[in-house]
Amino acid sequence: MKLFTCKQIAGIDQLTMKLEPVLSIDLMERASFQIADWVIKNINHDWQIYLFAGPGNNGGDALAVARMLAWSNLKCTVYRIDFGRELKGDPVINWQRLEEQNQVILRKIDSEDSIPEIPVDAIVIDGLFGSGLNKPLDGLAKEIVKQINRSGATIISIDIPSGLFGEDNSKNDLSAIIKADHTLTFQFPKLSFLFPENCEFVGDWTVLPIGLHPNAIEQTETPYHFLTKKFISGKIKPREKFSHKGTFGHALLIAGSYGKMGASVLASQACLRSGVGLLTSHVPQSGYEIIQNSVPEAMTSIDPSETVFSEVPDISRYSAIGIGPGLDKKQETQQALKALLQAKPSKLVIDADALNILSENQDWYDLLPENAILTPHPKEFERLAGASFNSFERLQKQLQFSAKYKVIVVCKGAHSCITLPDGKVFFNSTGNPGMATGGSGDVLTGIILGLLAQNYSAEDATLIGVYLHGMAGDLAATEIGEYSLIAGDLISHLGKAFLQLE
């Protein structure tokens, strides 16, 4: 699914009105109906509903929602912020319709004294400001937001929590943003919803389709995408009847050191469960028995060192290479990593300690092969590319890094963010907090490696791998919950995840 900036969404609205055609008031009615329908299905009908309406179309939505909730006899009071300016456009029509309906209590807020006290067992519907916010909230608007946040009531935001920008909140006043329990957003999630620091404002979010015109969406260019099941399913290649293990590639995994062999075991198992034909796991001598016993399906390549990776094996036989999990950062490992990069492997995944070694040797970045896949978590990315003030700034750094070194970067987390050298950005839609546990990243490396070896392009191996990894986590969580989830559960649910994509 494409993701757009708020400005672009306004453009898509305009195009929809022209192409469908539909009047703006009717588009507002359609959008508001979706909100009202969700509210009616999801809230306790005995509770008082406080609707807050701002001066623009977000406020217009709130007014229409109030009228629709009254059809179902819900107890609604509308508070319309009054900056002393006349309402304009569609909100005027919706105000008049509410007056005519005469079933909803209508109040205006024109000073701090007129801001209501809101009881805890109330529902607040926040239609103060939406995608048309043009500066941080202050004055009366900020006071209303603070009062709503203080109330402890259940807050449902229309389209976007009031005060939050759809993209960059680096310069925003964070004390002047609604902290919603639920955000009901129109047609597309906004970029800022995907950044962890905004979770306290956005709460749980739901996308409500409002029938924006497919041609308008198609015509509007964007670098931002949200991974969907349909998109990923379309990338999975069927396994042909006459294929054999040679058809599905031979992966080399360089992982594990004395005391950290679990990383090699997990990544090896995940690689095999991702459909690779053959896997060779390169391990130090002390890891030989461990890997043979734990992953009998894998072949082994044994390093001369007893404890760490110290020498690159002949890489010519392998279709893809993965390096990093559990490697440690000993001097001989650092030199061996450099030698591997100098050998210019054509398909490479780099994770964990291999990334940490790189960040301590930044002059090696130029050795990175084109389309190498780097899978840092935010801290590892910070070591690679420097600190960022927030996730939006980090995304800009990530894009620069991908473009400069022509590599794919996966910044792992909730909604893992993937950047490509051509400037495209993909946010993942699968996964859950249960996956924040040791070994989860090793599993991802194994999956991506397995797909790369099967001759998926670096881009596809990354997108499918990230999505599958999260999906396996979601399937595991439905069976055992998030608390008890461990990395091994991701591997044992990979099969079911693949089945869902067929």
Ligand X SMILES: NC(=O)C1=CN([C@@H]2O[C@H](COP(=O)(O)OP(=O)(O)OC[C@H]3O[C@@H](n4cnc5c(N)ncnc54)[C@H](OP(=O)(O)O)[C@@H]3O)[C@@H](O)[C@H]2O)[C@H](O)CC1
> Which stretch in 57-65, 72-80, 255-263, 347-355 sits in contact with K ion by CB under 5 A?
57-65
**Contacting K ion (CB under 5 A), which of 131, 162, 416, 445?**
162
**Contacting K ion (CB under 5 A), which of 157, 319, 333, 356?**
157
Q: Based on CB atoms, which residue is closest to ligand X, 94 or 371? A: 94
Examine residue 145 and tell whether it contacts K ion (CB under 5 A).
no
Tokens at residue 133, please? 């916010």
Per the DSSP assignment, residues forming a β-bridge with 424 are none
Sheet holding 250-254, edge to edge: 224-226, 425-427, 417-419, 408-411, 373-374, 348-350, 320-323, 250-254, 278-283, 299-302
Tokens at residue 286, please? 């002390």
> Which stretch in 120-128, 222-230, 386-394, 434-442 sits in contact with K ion by CB under 5 A?
120-128
Question: Rounded to an integer, what distance in angstroms lies between the CA atom of residue 377 and that of residue 379?
Answer: 6
Annotated binding site: 57-61, 126, 130-136, 159, 162, 263, 326, 377, 412-416, 441-442
Q: Cβ 78 to ligand X, closest distance in Å?
A: 15
Q: Cβ 180 to K ion, closest distance in Å?
A: 8
Q: Which does 157 bind (CB under 5 to 8 A by kind): ligand X, K ion, none?
A: K ion
Q: Which does 369 bind (CB under 5 to 8 A by kind): ligand X, K ion, none?
A: none
Q: Which does 434 bind (CB under 5 to 8 A by kind): ligand X, K ion, none?
A: none
Q: Cβ 11 to K ion, closest distance in Å?
A: 20
**Contacting K ion (CB under 5 A), which of 13, 29, 61, 126?**
126
Q: Which does 13 bind (CB under 5 to 8 A by kind): ligand X, K ion, none?
A: ligand X
User: How do the residues of the chain divide into helix, strand and coil, expressed in percent and rounded to 5?
Assistant: 45, 15, 40
CB-CB contact of 71 with 32 (8 Å)? no
Q: Cβ 200 to ligand X, closest distance in Å?
A: 20
Q: Does an H or E element contain 283, and which? A: strand 278-283
- CA angle at residue 11 from 9 to 17, to 5 degrees? 105
Distances (CA, A) of 276 to 75, 250, 345, 497: 59, 7, 18, 16
Q: Which does 421 bind (CB under 5 to 8 A by kind): ligand X, K ion, none?
A: none
Examine residue 158 and tell whether it contacts K ion (CB under 5 A).
yes
Q: Based on CB atoms, which residue is closest to ligand X, 59 or 345? A: 59
Sequence-ordered list of residues with C-beta below 8 angstroms from that of 424, at least 6 positions apart, any chain: 223, 225
Tokens at residue 337, please? 């990593």
Count of residues engaged in binding K ion, rule: CB under 5 A: 6
Examine residue 192 and tell whether it contacts K ion (CB under 5 A).
no
Closest CA to 251 of 344, 315, 302: 315
Q: Cβ 5 to ligand X, closest distance in Å?
A: 12
Question: Rounded to an integer, what distance in angstroms lies between the CA atom of residue 327 and that of residue 313?
Answer: 15
Q: Based on CB atoms, which residue is closest to ligand X, 137 or 444? A: 137
Q: Which does 241 bind (CB under 5 to 8 A by kind): ligand X, K ion, none?
A: none
Packing angle, helices 440-453 and 352-360, rounded to 10:
90
Examine residue 57 and tell whether it contacts K ion (CB under 5 A).
no
Residue 69: alpha-carbon gap to chain centroid: 32
Q: Cβ 23 to K ion, closest distance in Å?
A: 22
Q: Which does 166 bind (CB under 5 to 8 A by kind): ligand X, K ion, none?
A: none
Annotated binding site for (6S)-NADPHX: 57-61, 130-136, 159, 263, 326, 377, 442
CB-CB contact of 188 with 9 (8 Å)? yes
Q: Cβ 24 to ligand X, closest distance in Å?
A: 7
Q: Which does 29 bind (CB under 5 to 8 A by kind): K ion, ligand X, none?
A: none
Q: Which does 126 bind (CB under 5 to 8 A by kind): K ion, ligand X, none?
A: K ion
> Which stretch in 42-50, 126-134, 353-361, 369-377 sits in contact with K ion by CB under 5 A?
126-134
Per the DSSP assignment, residues forming a β-bridge with 52 are 79, 126
Examine residue 372 and tell whether it contacts K ion (CB under 5 A).
no
Per CB under 6 A, residues contacting ligand X are: 9, 13, 27-28, 31, 54-61, 129-135, 137, 141, 158-160, 186-187, 210, 212
Sequence-ordered list of residues with C-beta below 8 angstroms from that of 362, at least 6 positions apart, any chain: none
Examine residue 118 and tell whether it contacts K ion (CB under 5 A).
no
CB-CB contact of 390 with 355 (8 Å)? no
Question: Rounded to an integer, what distance in angstroms lies between the CA atom of residue 22 and that of residue 29?
Answer: 11
The verdict on whether omega for the bond into residue 21 sits within 30 degrees of 0, i.e. cis, is: yes
Q: Which residues bind K ion (CB under 5 A)?
A: 58, 126, 130, 157-158, 162
